Structure 1
Amino acid sequence: MKGRWLEDLTWSEAAEWRDRDALVLVPIGAAAKEHGHALPLCTDYLLARGLTDGVLEQLPILAAPVMSFGYYPAFRHYPGSQHIRPETFSMLIDDVLSGFLAQGFRNLAILNTGVSTTPVVQVAVREFYERTGTRVALANILALGHDAEHLMTQKLGGHGDEHETSLILALDESRVRKDKLVCDYGNQLDAPKTVFYWPTTFNGDPESGVDYSATGIRGDATLATKEKGEASLKASVSDVVDGLRALFPDAVGKPGDAS
């Protein structure tokens, strides 16, 4: 492994990485967010750890502890799901980035495994740049792994679905309650297709329109396989590695460098 988790180092070892201008990658992944009956609440956390482990295998960077609380409004009513307000989440991001900058770390990036978190993180890094002059690179989960998309055959997805379940099967198969995998599209297949953003949540009431989900997922998790997850994970890690090499060649190596 070329990189290290910051939490495994002493402060003096962390200083040595800082002094050679190492990049710090901040993963974001909910430690407690509902993902239906088959996947654990820590699904996003497992994904953030798994993706980051893959990046650390290839690049000499530091990984910050996973930011495990975030803005997850669609799931706040499910028992066990944790959610913080967008302004709180934005301040958390700013405080973490500001702390690294004050300690002398100049190369910063974020790996975000959430969807509802994306606009908040984008605003946070934009405002951080305005205030400090430091650009923070941001990779969002929906932009990753497109080279493996052709493997997914569900009609639509989005949460606890074929894709996400496949990823967890690849990362930690023992965490998946395979006897509880279901196909649950709710009412999304009948939803009109328009150019408008249409806020939705997850609701167990069949009369709740596009919000309806009987199990707390959207998609067909029964189609998930470990092999699909391994391919998607590999493609996603490759996207992150290529992006970091392109944006931070002096810190992590240039595009085309051997892994």
Structure 2
Amino acid sequence: MRTWIPDARNFAYLTWKQVEAIEKDKALLVLPTAAIEQHGHHLPLATDTLINNLLLGKALERLGPEAPVYALPPVCYGKSNEHLGFPGTLSVSASTFMAVLRDIGASVAASGFRRLVLYNTHGGNSSLVDVMARDLRAEFGLRTFCMFGSAGAKFEGLSAQEKAYGFHAGEIETAYLLSGIPELVRSEEYTSNYIAELANPDLLLPENGPATFSWLTRDIAPSGVMGDPRPASKENGDRWIEEAATKIAAALEAMLAFEERVPA
């Protein structure tokens, strides 16, 4: 699969002797978590994994050469049962996903590393990533961190409706791929669908509300798209990648500098 991770920061490219030489108490390992799942008629199954790799790779390029940050190989398969029923979606159970993260965390700790960030770019994994970051902290004493998506990028030029409900295969994801790997975007196959409308507020929301309802993609989006990819452009993708990479790099630097907070 295509990678933007710099070779010198690709953990899997190291030998065990090179890993042995790393100052473990200062280093930060990044474990990407994503998915292989349907992304409408116009984006590839690997969209979440590609975006994770693209944003993380661009962020790692911004770090100084002295920063001991390394990207682990991604966990490509996620909890994607919301997309089951669409051919090509490959989903694992919550227990399997968490067991994989637990075992990787155990291996990281056994190698002597003390800092691990779980960097997730698939919404279906988010709650499990939160749980596992706490569990890895408790079981192995790892200093764990979580980071999600574009790390707080503002997406200037994005409509309020798309920002709120462009959940899946919408303008942002399409723009990212138009910038990073445009040959995989089928622009002639765009479809649009929203799970909710800002103009028609409701008490029960699909996400991020005081009361929510559970949903499966096939119930509400026949094409698999939740959002509107039609306004997406390479130019916006370029700008948004730059902003996201800058924020991700800043977060990684903060994680490197993080000190234990012990009550007086």
Letter in 1 for 2:178: L
Partner of 1:42: 46
3-state secondary structure, aligned to 2:238: helix
Backbone CA RMSD of aligned residues: 2.1
TM-score by length of 2: 0.84
Aligned counterpart for 2:226 among listed residues 218, 230, 250? 218
Q: Is 1:9 aligned to residue 14 of structure 2?
A: yes
Q: Give the count of matched residue pairs.
A: 240
When residues 246 and 88 of structure 1 are mapped into structure 2, their CA distance, relative to the original with a 3 A threshold, is same
Q: Secondary structure at the match of 2:250?
A: helix
SS in 1 for 2:221: coil
Could you tell me whether the CA contact under 8 Å between 1:170 and 1:227 is conserved in 2?
yes
Where 1:198 maps in the other structure, the secondary structure is coil
* Distance in 1 separating the partners of 2:16 and 2:237: 36
Distance 2:124 2:258 in 1: 32
**Of 172, 175, 183, which residue of structure 2 is paired with 1:166?**
175
Check conservation: 2:27, 2:256, Cα contact below 8 A: no
SS in structure 1 of the partner of residue 230 of structure 2: helix
Q: Is contact 1:39-1:177 (8 Å) kept?
A: yes
The answer (yes or no) to whether the contact 1:144–1:235 under 8 Å persists in 2 is no
Change (3 A) 1:18 1:69: farther
| Partner in structure 1 of residue 105 of structure 2 | 97
One-letter identity of the residue aligned with 1:54? K
Contact 2:118 2:133 in 1 (8 A): no
Q: SS of 1:237's equivalent?
A: helix
Paired amino acid for 1:196: A
CA distance in 2, matches of 1:213, 1:191: 19
Deviations 1:192-213 (A, max 9, x none): 244212111111xxxxxxx311
Runs of 4 or more, structure 1, over 6 Å off, are: none
Contact 1:24–1:107 (8 Å) recurs in 2: yes
Residue 157 (structure 2) aligned to one of 151, 155, 160: 151
- In structure 2, the CA distance between the partners of 1:134 and 1:53, relative to structure 1 (3 Å rule), is same
- Which secondary structure state, in structure 2, belongs to the residue aligned with residue 91 of structure 1? helix
Among the aligned pairs, what percent are the same residue? 25
Matched residue type, 2:186: R
User: Is 2:73 the counterpart of 1:81?
Assistant: no
1:12, distance to aligned residue in structure 2 (A): 1.7
> Equivalents in 2 of 1:245, 1:4: separation in Å?
14
Unaligned stretches of 5+ in structure 2?
A: 1-5, 205-209, 260-264
Q: 1:74 to 1:196 in 2, by over 3 A?
A: same
The one-letter amino acid paired with 2:231 is L
> Is 2:115 the partner of 1:107?
yes
User: CA offset at residue 116 of structure 1?
Assistant: 1.4
CA contact (8 A) 2:193 2:221 kept: yes
Cα deviation, residue 214, structure 1 = 2.3
- Distance across 2 between alignment mates of 1:131 and 1:29: 24
Instruction: Look up the match of 2:214.
Output: 199
Q: Secondary structure at the match of 1:110?
A: strand
2:255 match: 247
1:137 is matched with: 145
Give the aligned partner of residue 206 of structure 1.
none
Q: Which amino acid aligns with 1:12?
A: K
| TM-score, normalised with respect to structure 1 | 0.85
